[in-house]
Amino acid sequence: MKLTEGTVLVTGADGFIGSHLVETLARRGCRVRALALYNSFGSWGWLDTLDPALLDGVEVVLGDIRDTALVDEIVAGCRAVMHLASLIAIPYSYRAAESYVDTNIKGTLNVVRACRAHGVEKLVHTSTSEVYGSARYVPIDEAHPLQPQSPYSASKIAADQMALSFFHSFETPVAVCRPFNTFGPRQSCRAVIPTVITQIASGARTIRLGATEPRRDFTFVDDTVAGMIAVAESDETVGRTVNLGTGYDIGIGELAGLIAELMHEPIEIETDPDRVRPAGSEVDRLCADNSLARELTGWCPELAGPEGLCEGLSRTIDWFTEPTNLARYRADQYTI
């Protein structure tokens, strides 16, 4: 199917990846209905920063995926649904696990049930590489065991299985895409790359981080969005789970040094106990096998390997160090 041939609903449209997805779909000429989390300020989140002319054809709805009736209403009339809305902060899931059950599991149930009721032609449910836990082997393919090493990852495992259960039970056309550590402009400072960049850009030379030994497969947001669209438009992905990663991983400490080098600033790293996960919850390594994505959709990341990572980091640094953007962040505070 082609996403330009009907209305596409994007949940979580106000967030980091969601806003990039809405922007890309709108530029491609898609009719987009964008769900942003209701708030009394009337804020559209990161959608507020996009070119207003680009949003002329975007229908923005304020609501909450936990609201069954509202989800049913906004899914009606859509040909495809890109479901990104979820709680994603791992540290906060230690404190507020029930919120993750309500939003990530029950919210996904609302979405998939509405897709079934309204005959949606494709639902792409967004997972996370965190569901794999510490790699038992690398690169990690879609058959890797699922290991719930945080309440967040447990909620996402359950949400993934809830979505897939509707494919198996009712033939609802569901595909699960599983991004590996997406980064880029607009990302929250809870994530390591914005944390390092904003601390350096704000004048700090002693950078406060959590564990520096874990290794991650960082995927630039444009590549993640392109992968999600490719999963949506491929008939071969129905009933499948598809990794979206680069296949190249790097240690957090090494990554921080690379960012400092690109920003031409010397740094020292200091461990902040508040940023360190409980020992059994830390995921030691994530590195994607993306061969299934290539096979089913033809997608492969444009920014891959050491050179691709440096290019993505440079673009991200340029965005975060623009004064208007940097002013949106509190680099001296750690918010879970």
86: its two tokens: 């979820």
> Has residue 334 got a pLDDT over 90?
no
Residue 323 domain flag: no
Helix axes 221-233, 16-27, angle to 10 degrees: 60
CA atoms within 13 A on the CB side of 139: 17
Cα–Cα distance for residue pair 35/15, rounded to 1 Å:
10
pLDDT at 331: 87
In this structure, the number of other CB atoms found within 10 A of the CB of residue 197 comes to: 29
> Has residue 262 got a pLDDT over 90?
yes
Instruction: Please give the backbone phi and psi of residue 219, each rounded to the nearest 5 degrees, phi first.
Output: -120, 125
Instruction: Please give the backbone phi and psi of residue 123, each rounded to the nearest 5 degrees, phi first.
Output: -115, 120
CATH, residue 34: 3.40.50.720
Which pTM was predicted?
Answer: 0.97
Q: How many domains does the chain have?
A: 1
pLDDT at 57: 86
Residue 211 domain flag: no
For the CA atoms of 118, 123, 126, 127, what is the dihedral angle to 10 degrees? Answer: 100
Best CA proximity match to 79, nearest among 173, 9, 174, 166? 9
pLDDT at 185: 98
> Has residue 257 got a pLDDT over 90?
yes
Residue 324 domain flag: no
pLDDT at 105: 98
Cα–Cα distance for residue pair 184/178, rounded to 1 Å:
17
Range of the domain at 62: 3-183+220-244
Residue 40 domain flag: yes
Determine the average pLDDT of the residues in 207-214.
Answer: 96
pLDDT tens, residue by residue, 128-156: 999 999 999 999 999 999 999 999 999 99
pLDDT band at 10 (very low <50, low <70, confident <90, very high): very high
Cα–Cα distance for residue pair 293/230, rounded to 1 Å:
9
pLDDT tens, residue by residue, 12-46: 999 999 999 999 999 999 999 999 999 999 999 99
Residue 294 domain flag: no
pLDDT band at 333 (very low <50, low <70, confident <90, very high): confident
pLDDT at 336: 78
pLDDT above 90 coverage of the chain, percent:
97
- CA 233 vs. chain centroid, Å, equals 19
> DSSP assignment of 95-120, as one string?
H-HHHHIIIIIIHHHHHHHHHHHTT-
Residue 284 domain flag: no
Q: What does the mean pLDDT of the chain come to?
A: 97
pLDDT at 250: 98
Residue 61 domain flag: yes
Determine the average pLDDT of the residues in 284-304.
Answer: 98
Determine the average pLDDT of the residues in 193-200.
Answer: 97
> Has residue 124 got a pLDDT over 90?
yes
Per DSSP, helices labelled H in the chain are: 16-27, 68-75, 90-95, 97-100, 107-117, 151-170, 192-201, 221-233, 252-262, 291-297, 305-320, 323-326
* 3-state helix, strand and coil shares in percent for the chain, rounded to the nearest 5: 45, 15, 40
pLDDT at 207: 95
pLDDT above 70 coverage of the chain, percent:
100
Determine the average pLDDT of the residues in 89-96.
Answer: 96
Residue 335 domain flag: no
Instruction: Please give the backbone phi and psi of residue 40, each rounded to the nearest 5 degrees, phi first.
Output: -75, -10
Contact 120, 7 (CB under 8 A): no
